[in-house]
A and B are shown apart, each in its own frame.
Chain A
Amino acid sequence: GQNIDQPTEMTATEGAIVQINCTYQTSGFNGLFWYQQHAGEAPTFLSYNVLDGLEEKGRFSSFLSRSKGYSYLLLKELQMKDSASYLCAVRDRDSNYQLIWGAGTKLIIKP
């Protein structure tokens, strides 16, 4: 079956680094997206991976290993504004290229 797993909640300290993991099981993997969602707001796009390796974009990086069905989002130099939920979504060829979403990881940043 299709499944996306993320930790429910994580806590980190301002200025530190945090890694949010996402594991997936899909029959027709065709790319993985990370979104940020502040409470009560819309998700905003952070990154996209379709090939193995690391994609860096400022303080945020995303990694993919297709053989392991695994991705992580790495946030560096954490700021209070990074307190949000981080959503992992996999595009699935066998679902007409629609996105399958994880439940999200709520990240709490402490001073």
Chain B
Amino acid sequence: DGGITQSPKYLFRKEGQNVTLSCEQNLNHDAMYWYRQDPGQGLRLIYYSQIVNDFQKGDIAEGYSVSREKKESFPLTVTSAQKNPTAFYLCASSMGDRASRTDTQYFGPGTRLTVL
């Protein structure tokens, strides 16, 4: 089955620790995205990547880092510099044909990160 996987589903970390969230897709999509979702707010874009070995900052990139070494994988590291890291993190992918009807984003199941 094709899809997007994120692991783990729940993650707890102590304040001051870096943590890496996994995102893998086997849809052969070129583009991948990381969003953060907080109660009462719309999804906010953290980073996105249109192609392997390239990525761009979204609206709230401070305190986060990413890599895109493989087409299938787009891990997100939440660093200790992120002031309010507790949130629901969603990874998405799309074909990457920007401005096309087919460039619909499909989401993974999400990782709920709690920093204690």
Contact = CB atoms under 8 A, between A and B. Distances in A.
Given A30-B99, A93-B99, A43 B42 contact: no
B45 interface: yes
A98 interface: yes
Given A30-B99, A48-B101, A103-B40, A98 B48 contact: yes
B45 A98 contact: yes
A102 B99 contact: no
A100 to B, nearest CB: 8
Contact of A4 (B42, B44, B45, B105): B42
A87 B90 contact: no
B75 interface: no
Interface residues of A, number: 26
Interface residues of B, number: 22
Nearest to B98: A97
B45 A87 contact: no
B110 A42 contact: yes
Interface in A93-111: 93, 96-104
Interface string B45-80: 100100000001010000000000000000000000
A48 B104 contact: yes
In the complex, which of the residues B44, B48, B105 has the most CB atoms of chain A within 10 Å of its own CB atom?
B105
A20 B43 CA distance: 18
A33 B42 contact: no
Interface in B69-116: 90, 98-99, 101, 103-110, 112
Contacts of A50: 101
B110 A101 contact: no
A45 B103 CA distance: 12
Contacts of B104: 33, 45, 48
Interface of A: 4, 8, 30-31, 33, 40-45, 48, 50, 87, 89, 91, 93, 96-104
